[in-house]
């Protein structure tokens, strides 16, 4: 009996494979994904189909809205507005990122590097950048910061006292730190001060009224404004420290309303004198006799731990 050709035997298998791989009709919906994706698509479909009847009694009450409240996409329920620096919708009719809060507007952020292909993002920005004084005596960079603080502490009844910063005596924001080092090394003390009117910074040593650097060539001071508004930062640098430099140094800040100071000590070590210090050690690691265990690492520093 003659056998059917091989092509005839392969035809049913080919038809079955085509039936299995045939794509679904164009109007068919894709199979639902994970639950969180399905909820997201349902929300988008509901928004695209229009808003349901407004029932304010069914709306959830938003809490902790530091930028205030705005109406939702349907204009029915209240929701928290976006804070300064958050993404927003440039098109007022859109409702994807959300709307900015009171005293805020949506702007394109041009702070990115456009030459590298970075796309400007729409961000909420405060309409005013003028500082103002709060009723709590603190200076706020702009009205949006004051409103955020007022909503975060509703019991404080915080309001704007007057435009411009609050006049205050100096406040040392960043104190100088105690320093340990060996002879021949350089050390730097830093001091950051906030005040309005702006403060001046002076450096003194060991309770003396002599303002540094004096006529000592290996001591120098530097100042600059910032890093924040109405702040000034000062540095005292001592090059190639020697035992006579050891002592307590004071950062003294003053303006027309008062003055404040912060001390920091410098301990100068001389290698080979038998002190309980170890070369190349880390703070907090104890050795024998109340000293520190050497780690044989460089660059070398000296720190002290009491026994």
CA angle 131/134/138 to nearest 5° reads 80
**Residue 109 confidence (pLDDT):** 84
| Rounded alpha-carbon distances, angstroms, from residue 127 to 87, 130, 274 | 16, 9, 64
By CB neighbour count within 10 A (0-12 exposed, 13-18 middle, 19+ buried), where does 180 fall? middle
**Which residues neighbour 257 within 8 Å (Cβ) at sequence distance 6 or greater?**
167, 168, 169, 195, 197
Question: Which one, of 163, 166, 235, 234, lies nearest residue 197 by Cα?
Answer: 166
**Residue 229 confidence (pLDDT):** 84
**Residue 34 confidence (pLDDT):** 47
Whether 71 contacts 86, CB under 8 Å: no
Residues counted in the chain? 307
Type and span of the H or E element at 222: strand 219-225
**Residue 43 confidence (pLDDT):** 55
| pTM score of the predicted model | 0.55
CA–CA separation, 33 vs 39, rounded Å?
10
According to CATH, where is 2.60.40.10 located in the chain?
Answer: 169-269
CATH of 58-110+120-127, one of 4.10.40.20, 2.60.40.1110, 3.40.50.970, 2.40.50.110: 4.10.40.20
DSSP 168: E
The region that residue 131 occupies, defined by phi over 0 for left and psi between -120 and 50 for alpha, beta otherwise, is: beta
Note the CATH architecture for domain 169-269. Answer: Sandwich (2.60)
According to CATH, where is 4.10.40.20 located in the chain?
Answer: 58-110+120-127
Question: Which ranges of 189-281 does DSSP label H, i.e. alpha helix?
Answer: none
By CB neighbour count within 10 A (0-12 exposed, 13-18 middle, 19+ buried), where does 241 fall? buried
| Rounded alpha-carbon distances, angstroms, from residue 116 to 14, 85, 112, 120, 122 | 52, 22, 9, 12, 18
CA–CA separation, 231 vs 172, rounded Å?
9
CA–CA separation, 238 vs 248, rounded Å?
13
Whether 72 contacts 80, CB under 8 Å: no
DSSP 86: S
pLDDT in 10s for each residue of the chain, 307 residues: 555 554 444 444 443 444 344 444 444 444 444 444 444 545 555 555 578 899 999 999 999 999 999 999 889 999 999 999 999 999 988 889 999 999 999 999 876 666 676 788 999 999 999 999 999 998 998 999 999 999 999 999 999 999 999 998 999 999 999 999 999 999 999 999 999 999 999 999 998 888 998 888 999 999 999 888 889 999 999 999 999 999 999 999 999 999 999 999 999 998 876 555 444 333 333 333 333 333 333 333 333 434 3
**Residue 275 confidence (pLDDT):** 53
């Amino acid at each position: 009996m003659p056998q059917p050709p091989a092509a005839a035997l392969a035809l049913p298998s080919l038809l079955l494979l085509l039936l299995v791989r045939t794509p679904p009709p164009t109007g068919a919906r894709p199979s639902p994904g994970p639950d969180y994706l399905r909820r997201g698509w349902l929300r988008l479909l509901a928004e695209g189909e229009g808003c349901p009847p407004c029932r304010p009694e069914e709306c959830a009450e938003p809490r902790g809205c530091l930028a205030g409240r705005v109406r939702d996409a349907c204009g029915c329920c209240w929701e928290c507005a976006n804070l300064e620096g958050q993404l927003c919708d440039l098109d007022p009719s859109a409702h994807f990122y959300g709307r900015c809060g009171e005293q805020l507007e949506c702007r394109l952020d041009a702070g990115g590097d456009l030459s590298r292909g970075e796309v400007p993002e729409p961000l909420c920005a405060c309409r005013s950048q003028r500082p103002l004084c709060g009723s709590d005596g603190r200076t706020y960079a702009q009205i949006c910061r004051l409103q955020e603080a007022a909503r975060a502490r509703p019991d404080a009844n915080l309001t704007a006292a007057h435009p411009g910063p609050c006049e205050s005596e100096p406040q040392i924001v960043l104190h100088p730190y105690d320093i340990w080092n060996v002879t021949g090394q350089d050390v730097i003390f830093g001091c950051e001060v906030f005040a309005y009117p702006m403060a001046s910074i002076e450096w003194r040593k060991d309770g003396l009224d002599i303002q540094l650097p004096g006529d000592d060539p290996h001591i120098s001071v530097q100042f600059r404004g910032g890093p924040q508004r109405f702040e000034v930062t000062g540095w005292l640098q001592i090059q190639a420290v020697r035992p006579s430099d050891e002592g307590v140094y004071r950062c003294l800040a003053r303006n027309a309303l008062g003055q404040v100071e912060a001390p920091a000590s410098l301990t100068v070590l001389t290698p080979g004198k038998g002190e309980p210090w170890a070369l190349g050690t880390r703070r907090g690691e104890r050795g024998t006799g109340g000293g520190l265990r050497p780690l044989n690492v460089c660059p070398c520093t000296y720190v002290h731990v009491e026994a």
